[in-house]
Amino acid sequence: TQLLEQSPQFLSIQEGENLTVYCNSSSVFSSLQWYRQEPGEGPVLLVTVVTGGEVKKLKRLTFQFGDARKDSSLHITAAQPGDTGLYLCAGDMGRRALTFGSGTRLQVQP
Amino acid sequence: DTAVSQTPKYLVTQMGNDKSIKCEQNLGHDTMYWYKQDSKKFLKIMFSYNNKELIINETVPNRFSPKSPDKAHLNLHINSLELGDSAVYFCASSPQGRGEQYFGPGTRLTVT
């Protein structure tokens, strides 16, 4: 059983479209992070959200932490081929280690 | 300058062999980790060290033994390799008390 479930698992869209990726859990996290991983490389941190209800923006990416700190979403506006990659959410339960989600593989077609 | 580096990048070996993967971070972080990423891209924590002290040891076979000679290095030694050990292994580090982690480029281990 996955502690953090991401949906969708796969997403293939055209350049310019909008999309939302969800990260859900029944557990409460002290913080939640989003990473992007490209083939042959390690995950790279995009953002950390800490407060319930918090919204953070990173250019065309908008991240939201659920009010109860159990879920999060990542919204991309006007997706570009450079956004292609594996998106991973990761929850911090205060154990000094992250629990990673199942991942969402995004493909943006030009 | 590479923040978190791992060697080797690729490792192909036969069942039963013993191999090591090395990791170094130059970020001055206190905590280092080893993760395993399977073929479905699921990342799972294996070990965590804080200032050379083991603080997390998930249910990993005792054929896997981490060693931290100093807080900038965390190596992973694997004995008697099995087919199921094939995966990508990532080293990561984080500042004391903060959850965000910085990952190395990974080591793709293939056991034949």
What residues of chain A lie within 8 A of the CB of B101, using their CB?
33, 45, 90, 98
A7-39 in b/e form (b: 16+ CB < 10 A) is: eeeebebeeeeebebbbbbeeebebbbbbbbee
Dump pLDDT digits (tens) for A20-59: 999 999 989 989 999 999 999 999 999 999 999 999 999 9
| A70: CATH | 2.60.40.10
Q: Tell me which residue in B4, B42, B45 faces A97 most closely, judged by beta carbons.
A: B45
Task: Give the per-residue pLDDT at B98.
Answer: 66
How many structural domains does chain B have? 1
Residues whose CB is less than 8 angstroms from the CB of residue B24 and which lie 6 or more positions away in sequence, other chains included: B4, B5, B72, B73
CATH code where residue B65 lies:
2.60.40.10
In one-letter notation, the amino acid at residue A59 is: K
Range of the domain at A75: 5-109
Considering its fold, how many domains does chain A have in total? 1
Q: What single DSSP character describes residue A20?
A: E
Nearest to A97 among B33, B42, B102 (CB): B33
Q: Which one of B44, B56, B101 has the shortest CB-CB distance to A95?
A: B56
| Tens-digit pLDDT profile for residues B74-108 | 999 999 999 999 999 999 999 875 678 999 999 99
Domain span at residue B97?
4-111
Check CB contact under 8 Å for A42 and B33: no
Query: Is B59 part of the contact surface with chain A (CB cutoff 8 Å)?
Result: no
